[in-house]
Structure 1
Amino acid sequence: MVRLFSYPFGIWPGNMLDEKMPNFVKYFLKHGPIQAVIVFCGEINYLVRRHKEVDFFTIGDVCITSCLTVLTFARVILPNFKSYGIIWQKFFKTFHLRNFKNNGYNYKNICLKMDTVSHYFTVLMIICTMIGMVLFNLSPICNNVVNGAYTKRRDENTTLRFSVLYEYPGFKPEDHFIITTILNFYFSYACTICICAIDLMLVLMVFQIIGHIEVLRRNLDDFPLPRDVIIFDIESNNRRLEISFESFNARENDLIHNHLKDSVNHHRFIVNFVSEMSSVFGPMMGINYLYQLVGCCLLLLECSQLDTQALARFGPLTLISVAQLVEISVIFEVVGSMSEKLIDNVYSLPWQYMNMKNQRTMFIFFSNVQRTMHVTCMGVTPIGVQSMAAILKTSFSYFTFLRSMDTQ
């Protein structure tokens, strides 16, 4: 499903997975960023030429689509970088839990759970995304149909509405409304796929990180205890005392050493992948947070008209944008909270029964798990609930300010 959803615009890294890419996918990979720049220039030109003619909410409408165009550019240019294909190749061929299904019950069990969660999340996100995209275009089309825009009896004074507003020298959308409507549907579809497909794939990637952390925690809980009990007889002040002492024997210490080594390597494997993920997707997530900061307040401003058409068009987009921010922040936050739980799992290991060599390894392992795993924006801001709350708070403040400007 993810492949079919993301393939048309080159988001799916087929070239790094030994798949033959169709020519139209290669074409969009090369020219997709150029298309985004052309659309953005048309939107800015529309604002410059008509900012005195259109109302306050129309300006907000153009600003929203301009922000979406910038966000689309940030997403569509990413697959052209070699690092994008490399990390997805590593994810599918090395990191995904399906590559570890034969390594034990914990891997197999968690893999099945993560696959189930990923399946339902994918279905839900694709359905909501498509509904939002259709409603975004449906409202202007219905308005034009009611006004007779697509009939021969169309009045020249009929007000036409478009989902994306742009203008170029020699090209006005009102003069080519059928072509503009078709182009707008294509632009909306491309924007939806480029933004939501990468977000979907990122969330699925995070699910696998969470799965690996859960497997590591279960493996740590399954560490064996010593089987032998050593009893010391001590005589003191004419009294005989028996002191029992549990300890791993030499064979058990070798087994524990192998378990520790596997756990340390597994933890390092997860940390390295999270670090690579931050380096590749960090700048894109930073731009995404910037869009959420600006876009959410503008979308709230458009919905504040309480007009049927405005609510039908911007309501679903607002809900999807806020839901996207919440779901990504919450799911990414789970990575940090799960990694913090690793501290208790490591400390609960029977380190007091180990020999000195294994206790040194334990000390290093315990020091490593103290650092919380976080996917960050450009290595600075962790993607999580605190960042989400700050963005929503600031967006509501800007919305209140813009709303007061309109009432004045």
Structure 2
Amino acid sequence: MAKDKYVLQSPKDQRFYRNFATLATFLSVGNQEWWGYKKPNKVQIYHRRLACILSSQFKSFEKVMKLFMDKIHLYNYKDMNAFTRQVMNWAITHIINTYVCIMGCIILLVFNSLNYMLVFHIIGHIQMFKYKCKTEFSDTLSNNETRDLLISLIKEHSFIIEVFNNMKHAFGYYVTGNYCHNLLSDSFLLYQIMFGNKEDWLVYGLMVVVYLGGLIVMSLVLEEIRRESVDIADDVYSIPWQNMSISNQKILMMVLARSQPPLEFISAGGLRAGVQPTISIIKSTFTYYVMLKTSIKLN
């Protein structure tokens, strides 16, 4: 009963529309004054200068928003009671859709952040390993001290490889899925921009920027591991080994052999993640676009 009374209230008096108007004003996708509420405060005004959606700046957008409360909203019509149930169904559907979209974005954001956090900490361990190779060895160390340092290097390098392999297994399917998704979707988005309706250009253009932008960032981050690890062997070889004992030289040779291959992120399906696959995907995007364009012209 209380819910029915709430729905039958004037939309200007409903808390939902008051809060929604405040949020829209804060995000620069509306103005609460258009719906008959008080003027925006200073915080909203300053934030509106930072967040700006192009479509919300059109006069047509302002006109529609001003008409919503007095002309468009079903409250203004006598037969509104007949639509109460439909309005409630719309509200439930909209809430579920909003929840699913927001949670999906948050899940992907958090998962990406975890991946990047692990990557940057592995890079930090690689840099620490290289720093030890350059600074902690000298000709004044005894054989036992040198041996202990070499063993610590082996443990550190083994730890890096173990964590990196676990990370590849944990995030491999996600990285491969991201590459495959971009490989298929970017060409279709480009086609929609070129041959779709002009009013959809902004939407598809933003999608291309987001898709390719996320792929490029991920590729650069994963490529950084390979770039940092490619010269580990040189740093190991720079350790002053000439005056070491034979046993310590043999240990150093083990470290040198293990550090030869660079750490490359090989995701699910054997895909080598990095800059090169991204370049191939961008090339394939334009290839698929030309193929679609040619096939449609022939038909």
Aligned residue number for residue 98 of structure 2: 185
- C-alpha change, 1:315 and 1:188, in structure 2 (3 Å) is farther
Per-residue deviation, 1:343: 1.1
Correspondence for 2:264 among 362, 374, 382: 374
> Corresponding residue for 2:111?
198
What is the aligned partner in structure 1 of residue 209 from structure 2?
319
Q: 1:180 to 1:151 in 2, by over 3 A?
A: farther
- 1:251-309 Cα deviation digits (max 9, x unpaired): 61111111111111101100000101111111222111111111222222233358664
**Matching of residues 284-323 of structure 1 within 5 Å:** 284-304=174-194, 309-323=199-213
Mapped partners of 2:192, 2:93: distance in 1:
22
Residue 401 to residue 150, structure 1, CA distance change in 2 (3 Å): farther
Distance in structure 1 (CA, Å) of the matches to 2:263 and 2:166: 12
1:336 counterpart letter in structure 2? R
More strand by share: 1
Give the alignment's TM-score, normalised by structure 1.
0.50
Secondary structure, aligned partner of 1:353 = coil
Is 1:337 the counterpart of 2:250? The answer is no
Query: What does residue 225 of structure 1 align with?
Result: 138
Amino acid at match of 1:188: C
**Which one-letter code corresponds to 1:211 in the other structure?**
G
TM-score, normalised on structure 2? 0.67
Q: Percent identity over the alignment?
A: 23
Aligned to 2:282: 392
Would you say the 8 A contact 1:137–1:313 is kept in 2? no
1:383 aligns with 2:298: no
Contiguous gaps of at least 5 residues in structure 2:
1-50, 73-85
Distance in 1 of aligned mates of 2:54 and 2:261: 43
CA contact (8 A) 1:253 1:354 kept: yes
Tell me what 1:271 maps to.
Answer: 161
Counterparts of 2:213 and 2:104 in 1: how far apart (Å)?
17
Q: Which amino acid aligns with 1:266?
A: E
One-letter amino acid matched to 2:230: E
Contact 1:137 1:185 in 2 (8 A): no
Show CA shifts across 1:187-236 (max 9, x none).
33223222232112211211111111001101100133224xxxxxxxxx
Aligned to 2:127: 214
Distance 1:307 1:216 in 2: 55
Distance of 2:170 and 2:117 partners within structure 1? 16
Whole-Å Cα distance in 1 between the matches of residues 129 and 163 of structure 2? 15
SS at match of 2:148: helix
Q: Matched residue of 2:262: which SS?
A: coil
Return closer, same or farther for 1:181/1:406 CA change in 2, 3 Å cut-off: farther
1:356–1:275: structure 2 CA closer, same or farther, 3 Å change rule?
A: same
Q: Is the 8 A contact 1:329 1:384 kept in 2?
A: yes
Which structure carries more helix by proportion? 2
Alpha carbons of structure 1 residues 299 and 213: separation in structure 2 relative to 1, 3 Å = same
Partners of 1:200 and 1:399 in 2: CA distance: 32
**What's the C-alpha RMSD, in Å, of the aligned pairs?**
3.6
Contact 1:264 1:365 in 2 (8 A): yes
Deviations 1:56-93 (A, max 9, x none): xxxxxxxxxxxxxxxxxxxxxxxxxxxxxxxxxxxxxx
Q: Contact between 2:176 and 2:268, CA under 8 Å: does it hold in 1? A: yes
Distance 2:54 2:124 in 1: 36
**Matched AA of 2:157:** H
Q: State the Cα distance separating 1:152 from its structure 2 match.
A: 8.5
Letter in 1 for 2:190: L
Q: Is the 8 A contact 2:176 2:269 kept in 1?
A: no
SS in 1 for 2:261: coil
| Structure 2: distance between partners of 1:135 and 1:181 | 22
One-letter code aligned to 1:354? M
Aligned length, in residue pairs: 234
**Alpha-carbon distance in structure 2 between the residues aligned to 1:327 and 1:223:** 35
Inter-partner Cα distance in structure 2 for 1:368 and 1:276: 18
